[in-house]
């Protein structure tokens, strides 16, 4: 849908401007009226409106002029709130986006959403966002103070939405991204279950044959199982759970993002997802009439991967120095050559938004291909591990079985 720029007057008589993704000007007018604003002017896509304060960023009794989002600095020390799961994050942003789309102001949306959010971290963070918004601050500023709750790219997406006047769209995309992460994890349950089943089978079956044949010594079997094998299995399980929890901490994001890029198809998926998120926001800000440096600055912190964000932040200095978009793309070393050529054509012809549309479609296809490749790889790894572990179990069982048979034969011969 096209993005219209508008100027409107709030109930207190303050004039504001922003941008809105809508099918036509009548829809923009109706949405503004639903929020309690009187429209002054609605400009067609590509037209410039004087930059005041986006209506979407107005959040309560007071308001402040929007500042351009800066590259993400080191996060402040967190207050120990529990980090939400992807499912919790998806539900929070989906509800927030729905409230904003219905015409409810961000202040009222937070006032409604914060007390009924069950996840403690999100609930406390939402209350802090409400207080910041009440004082005229931006939601992204409050979010940045809670790195254990909101990832840096989520803060960047909301900041870009505040800059362009489409916070609800940014939150909708954050919800969709979290839902995709949940779906990816659920899609890997079968190979993970195979591996867990094989490991547990080894620990349970290992004590059987040396003691159940030929003496049928069930007591010895249960002693070995309960006093040796199961405690070892529980220790390994708890150790893995502790290591996994530590790796997923918010303060390990930079290390985790660096490592995941080296994991073959999974790293390629992470890279393509980050580039697609950046390109979509760059396209949206460009369509809202932003200058190239402003659009790049707003979009560069939206990429989920920290390594990709760093490369995009470095290229921002080149954009500010006057380098054209397509040359900045090339300097990052992140994009395919054909996308750089498409953007160069768009810059020369003045059709940058159309070029970015085509590039987004190209990277969407690459993301879908990477998702399929990652799932296939994980299934293969799970299958191979299952076969290997099952084979080890069978070898151990057969060795122990025949050892018991030979011991029985030797004992029987000696007795005769």
The fold of the 86-185 domain, in CATH, is Receptor-associated Protein (1.20.81)
Q: What pLDDT was estimated at residue 292?
A: 87
Q: How far apart, in Å, are the Cα atoms of 365 and each of 358, 360, 362, 388? A: 11, 9, 5, 35
Higher pLDDT, 74 or 380: 380
Q: What pLDDT was estimated at residue 90?
A: 92
Minimum mean pLDDT range among 25-34, 58-67, 99-108, 155-164: 58-67
Q: What pLDDT was estimated at residue 97?
A: 92
Kindly tell me if the per-residue pLDDT of 382 is higher than 80.
no
Cβ contacts of 141 within 8 Å, gap of 6 or more: 132
N-terminal to C-terminal alpha carbon distance within the chain: 93
Kindly tell me if the per-residue pLDDT of 72 is higher than 60.
no
How far is Cα 56 from Cα 41, in angstroms, rounded to an integer? 16
How far is Cα 324 from Cα 314, in angstroms, rounded to an integer? 15
Kindly tell me if the per-residue pLDDT of 74 is higher than 60.
no
- Written as one string, the DSSP assignment of 73-124 is -PPPPP--PPPPPHHHHHHHHHHHHHHHHTT--HHHHHHHHGGG--SHHHHH
- For residue range 82-109, what is the model confidence (pLDDT) as tens digits? 889 889 999 999 999 999 988 888 888 9
Confidence band of 332 (pLDDT split at 50, 70, 90): confident
How far is Cα 152 from Cα 75, in angstroms, rounded to an integer? 8
- For residue range 353-373, what is the model confidence (pLDDT) as tens digits? 899 999 999 988 888 888 888
In this structure, are residues 41 and 78 in contact, taking their beta carbons and an 8 Å threshold? Answer: no
**In this structure, is the dihedral angle defined by the CA atoms of residues 279, 280, 286 and 290, taken in order, positive or negative?**
negative
Q: What is the mean pLDDT of residues 385-411?
A: 73
- Written as one string, the DSSP assignment of 296-362 is HHHHTT--SSHHHHHHHHHHHHHHHTT--HHHHHHHHT-S-HHHHHHHHHHHHHT-HHHHHHHHHHH
Q: What pLDDT was estimated at residue 375?
A: 76
- For residue range 218-257, what is the model confidence (pLDDT) as tens digits? 677 777 778 877 888 888 878 877 877 777 677 777 788 8
> How much of the chain exceeds pLDDT 90, in percent?
17
Q: What pLDDT was estimated at residue 58?
A: 38
In this structure, are residues 4 and 31 in contact, taking their beta carbons and an 8 Å threshold? Answer: no
Q: What pLDDT was estimated at residue 126?
A: 93
Strands 15-21 and 38-43: unpaired
Exposed e or buried b per residue across 82-91, where buried means at least 16 C-beta atoms within 10 angstroms of its C-beta? ebbebebbbb
Q: What pLDDT was estimated at residue 215?
A: 55
Q: What pLDDT was estimated at residue 405?
A: 74
Higher pLDDT, 336 or 84: 84
Minimum mean pLDDT range among 43-57, 182-196, 292-306: 43-57
The token pair at 361 is: 């479609």
Confidence band of 59 (pLDDT split at 50, 70, 90): very low
> How much of the chain exceeds pLDDT 70, in percent?
75
Q: What pLDDT was estimated at residue 88?
A: 92
Q: At 19, phi and psi to the nearest 5?
A: -135, 150
In this structure, are residues 249 and 151 in contact, taking their beta carbons and an 8 Å threshold? Answer: no
Q: What pLDDT was estimated at residue 153?
A: 92
- For residue range 184-206, what is the model confidence (pLDDT) as tens digits? 776 565 666 666 766 676 666 66
Higher pLDDT, 136 or 248: 136
Q: List, by residue range, all CATH 1.20.81.30 domains of the chain.
A: 86-185
Beta bridge partners of 41: 7
């Amino acid at each position: 849908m096209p993005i219209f720029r508008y100027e409107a007057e709030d109930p207190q008589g303050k004039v504001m401007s922003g941008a809105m993704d809508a099918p036509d000007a009548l829809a923009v007018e109706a949405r503004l009226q639903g929020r309690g604003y009187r429209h002054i002017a609605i400009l067609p896509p590509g037209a410039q409106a004087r930059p005041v304060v986006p209506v979407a960023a107005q959040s309560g009794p007071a308001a402040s002029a929007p500042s351009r989002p800066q590259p993400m600095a080191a996060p402040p020390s967190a207050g120990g709130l529990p980090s939400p799961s992807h499912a919790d994050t998806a539900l929070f942003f989906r509800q927030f986006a729905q409230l904003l789309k219905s015409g409810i102001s961000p202040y009222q949306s937070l006032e409604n959403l914060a007390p009924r959010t069950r996840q403690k971290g999100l609930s406390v963070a939402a209350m802090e966002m409400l207080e910041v918004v009440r004082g005229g601050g931006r939601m992204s500023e409050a979010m940045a103070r809670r790195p254990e709750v909101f990832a840096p790219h989520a803060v960047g997406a909301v900041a870009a939405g505040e800059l362009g006047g489409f916070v609800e769209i940014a939150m909708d995309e954050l919800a969709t991204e979290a839902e995709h992460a949940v779906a990816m994890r659920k899609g890997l349950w079968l190979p993970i279950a195979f591996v867990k089943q094989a490991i547990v089978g080894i620990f349970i079956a290992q004590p059987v044959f040396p003691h159940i044949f030929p003496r049928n010594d069930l007591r010895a079997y249960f002693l070995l199982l309960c006093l040796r094998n199961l405690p070892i299995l529980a220790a390994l399980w708890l150790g893995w759970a502790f290591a996994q929890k530590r790796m997923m901490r918010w303060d390990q994001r930079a290390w985790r993002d660096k490592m995941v890029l080296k994991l073959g198809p999974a790293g390629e998926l992470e890279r393509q997802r980050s580039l697609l998120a950046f390109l979509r926001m760059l396209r949206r800000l460009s369509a809202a009439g932003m200058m190239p440096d402003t659009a790049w600055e707003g979009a560069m912190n939206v990429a989920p991967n920290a390594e990709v964000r760093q490369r995009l932040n470095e290229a921002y200095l080149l954009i500010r120095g006057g380098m054209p978009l397509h040359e900045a793309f090339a300097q990052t070393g992140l994009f395919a050559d054909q996308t750089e050529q498409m953007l160069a054509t768009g810059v020369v012809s003045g059709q940058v938004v159309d070029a970015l549309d085509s590039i987004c479609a190209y990277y969407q296809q690459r993301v879908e291909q990477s998702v399929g490749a990652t799932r296939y790889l994980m299934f293969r790894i799970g299958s191979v591990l299952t076969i290997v572990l099952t084979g080890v179990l069978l070898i151990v069982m057969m060795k122990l079985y025949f050892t018991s048979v030979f011991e029985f034969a030797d004992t029987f011969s000696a007795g005769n």
